[in-house]
Structure 1
Amino acid sequence: MSTSKHICLLGDSIFDNKIYVPDGNSVHEHLLANLTSPDTASLIAVDGAVVDSVFRQIERIPEAATDLVISVGGNDALYLQSSVMGEISDSVYSALGRMKAAIATFEREYQQVIGKLLQFKLPLTVCTIYDCVPGLDDPSLAGLAIINDIITRTAFKNSLDLIDLRLLCNDPTDYSPISPIEPSHEGGAKIAAAIVRAVTGNSVSTKVFC
């Protein structure tokens, strides 16, 4: 007998994007529409969340949860962009050194969050941060690459399924016209479909063993 699914979405506005799609469906709504009763999904993610705030979300994971999906880090990246990336440096080498030092906090907190989620002994899927946002400049892309390296390394180290939003949300229509860093109705549909593939065992993600 198959067991019903209760998917929990944690993280930021990648999942909690309803306010940015007033005339469409949010990721959570798309996901519910893609599930067959009695399967369901809970939205625990909060718009504006950073990695450190996910610890409070973890406290709200229901006992009925069967699968956990997390997408977080974009707001941490925005903070780094407004602080570290605005500093003047005398060389690229020096700038990269400062960036690495600044990202150390994100790396530590992200690994701690994943460690906490693994304690639930439930299937866990993580998401990268997408980088096809309209108007995103090259320095921002470089910064995101460093953050995404941390996310992917953490996923591979723990043999987790990975939804690569960089490849999934690859069209301008995937982003909300209200706020270009949020998923649109179309982008949300892609993300929800990828979540379903991941939790039903039909994911095309690859686990890397070293």
Structure 2
Amino acid sequence: THLVVSMGGNDALSVSSVLDAPSRAVADALLRLAEIREQFCLEYRSTLDAVLAVKLPTAVCTIYDVRYANPEARHIAVTALSVLNDCITRAAAGRGVPVIDLRIICDEDADFANAIEPSEQGGGKIAAAIVSFLTK
């Protein structure tokens, strides 16, 4: 009866090595992120359009912020993820699709079983947000 789409986290993991790549200048690093963003946005929009072609009420989820133990690594990853989450929110807004923002829903360390996976508590919060979408 409804579709809830959560995609992008594995895409982010697959390109996360860019965060450790040497860079001569901030502009070089941003250019690399821009290239990743462009490809991700293209693929995300295409996939979302295919999902919407099914003609069922649909919501999309953002990629939740990682919970790396190292504060510096966490800040870097969260900043990079914001680039991909921007694609998600723009694609959804442009198509009138509701967004379930997992960055806001899973906002405590206890919401995570490890750095990148929700805990039982986090899963419960995500499930509650999905139920809220389904019952509106």
TM-score by length of 2: 0.91
Whether 1:87 aligns to 2:21 is yes
2:128 partner amino acid: A
In the TM superposition, structure 1's runs of 4+ consecutive aligned residues that sit over 3 Å from their partners are none
C-alpha deviation, 1:146, in angstroms: 0.2
* 158, 173, 180: which one aligns with 2:95: 158
Instruction: For structure 2, list consecutive stretches of 5 or more residues without a partner in the other structure.
Output: none
TM-score by length of 1: 0.60
Secondary structure at 2:88's aligned position in 1?
Answer: helix
* 115, 118, 135: which one aligns with 1:180: 115
Percent identical among aligned pairs is 43
Q: Aligned partners of 1:132, 1:85: CA distance in 2, in Å?
A: 14
Secondary structure at 1:125's aligned position in 2?
Answer: strand
Contact 1:132–1:172, Cα closer than 8 Å, also in 2: no
Q: Aligned partners of 2:126, 2:97: CA distance in 1, in Å?
A: 17
Aligned residues: 133
* 19, 41, 44: which one aligns with 1:107: 41
* 59, 63, 72: which one aligns with 1:129: 63
Deviations 1:143-198 (A, max 9, x none): 1010000000011001111100001001111111xx33111111111000100101
Corresponding position of 2:134:
199
Q: Structure 1 88/132 Cα, relative in aligned 2: closer, same or farther at 3 Å?
A: closer
Secondary structure at 2:4's aligned position in 1?
Answer: strand
Q: Structure 1 196/171 Cα, relative in aligned 2: closer, same or farther at 3 Å?
A: same
Structure with greater helix percent: 2
Q: Aligned partners of 1:137, 1:119: CA distance in 2, in Å?
A: 36
